[in-house]
Amino acid sequence: MKAQIIDGKVYAKTYRETLKTEVDALVQQGVQPGLAVVLVGEDPASQTYVNGKIKACEETGIYSKAFRLQSDIAESELLALVEELNQDPNIHGILVQLPLPAHINEDAVIDAISKEKDVDGFHPVSVGNLSIGKETFLPCTPHGVIKLIESTGLGIAGKHAVIVGRSNIVGKPVAMLLLQKNATVTICHSRTKDLGEMTRQADILIVAVGVAHLIKKEHVKEGAVVIDVGMNRVDGKLTGDVLFDEVAEVASYITPVPGGVGPMTITMLMQNTLTAAKRISVN
């Protein structure tokens, strides 16, 4: 194997230790950062994510409060809970785990979260601020992706970054962040005509699709940095969008799945909660 592995697990662990020190310092000043996590229904993947977030709060000294709600809860009831949390002085960050059941309007719920507590960075105001380069809560997975690229020391400015996937939670915000860092950015999606022709131009290739092993050796330029955001279950095993063993033969750096982007997502949520607590409660 040629590529060096970008170990998200190790990076996240070190990052969380630093966060804990900052959280402890804030607690000394009388403020404990607090995160509310709202889960509607019993989707097993969502339950796993929520448990991971609660555990990370415990690790970093952040107060957490989990709300596990029935899948048939009325939208109005959920909105009332969000409003209550907006007013709660012990809560600095509010995360509503997506997806929500079909009878609930996701946009209405995201819009209802106070923009000061929008630690997921999904509120339209946060998205707008990101796109015009104003300080805001950065969405967690895209922020984690940037941290992992920067951890290689190769730099982003002037590089050609190709992103596969254009979702609001990964592809588009990653593109915005890379643009801010002065990369030249190409975004691909399901209607892109010749995916390989695009991805082979990438110095930095970010894949966020949700199709196991979509990206193979022939999609990747020699020496590229490859970040695999994908999380797919194949025969019960978690696997990425990149055919790891093959692509590692040509890439210079590559993230594994699991153990790459995943641990960074939750870590950046902890970072945003700390930032929210500082903004709301200090001064």
Of the pair 167, 186, the CB lying nearest ligand NDP is at 167
Number of residues that bind ligand NDP (CB under 6 A): 26
CB of 279 to ligand NDP, least distance (A): 24
Query: Does the annotation mark 53 as catalytic?
Result: yes
List the structure tokens of 282: 């200090």
Closest CA to 120 of 106, 104, 137: 137
Q: Which of 28, 44, 135, 191 binds ligand NDP (CB under 6 A)?
A: 191
Residue 202 binds ligand NDP (CB under 6 A): no
Dihedral over alpha carbons 118, 121, 123, 128 (to 10 degrees) = 130
Q: Rule CB under 6 A: is residue 193 a binding residue for ligand NDP? A: no
Binding residue for ligand NDP, selected from 37, 40, 169, 224, defined by CB under 6 A: 169
Interaction between residue 262 and ligand NDP (CB under 6 A): yes
Interacting span for ligand NDP (CB under 6 A) from 12-20, 58-66, 82-90, 183-191: 183-191
Q: Which is nearer to ligand NDP, 31 or 188 (CB)?
A: 188
Residues 6+ apart with CB under 8 A from 39: 46, 47, 50, 66, 67, 68, 69, 97
Judged by CB, which is closer to ligand NDP: 169, or 248? Answer: 169
Are 176 and 131 spatial neighbours (Cβ–Cβ below 8 Å)? Answer: yes
- In the bound state with ligand NDP, the residue whose beta carbon lies nearer, of 161 and 280, is 161
Indicate the residue among 82 and 208 with the shorter CB distance to ligand NDP. Answer: 208
Interatomic CA distance for residues 14 and 9, integer angstroms: 9
Q: Is the peptide bond before 256 cis (omega within 30 degrees of 0)?
A: no
Whole-angstrom Cα distance, residue 90 to residue 237?
39
- Which entry of 13, 29, 65, 97 is annotated as an active-site residue? 97
Helix (H) or strand (E) holding 199: helix 195-199
Nearest alpha carbon to residue 59 among 11, 120, 16 = 16
Select from 22-30, 160-168, 178-186, 273-281 the region that touches ligand NDP (CB under 6 A): 160-168
Q: What angle do CA 154, 166, 42 make, to 5 degrees?
A: 110
* Shortest distance, position 265 Cβ to ligand NDP, whole Å: 3
Given the residues 120, 203, 228, 241, the one annotated as active site: 120
Residue range at the interface with ligand NDP (CB under 6 A); choices 21-29, 60-68, 111-119, 208-216: 208-216
Just list the catalytic residues.
Answer: 53, 97, 120
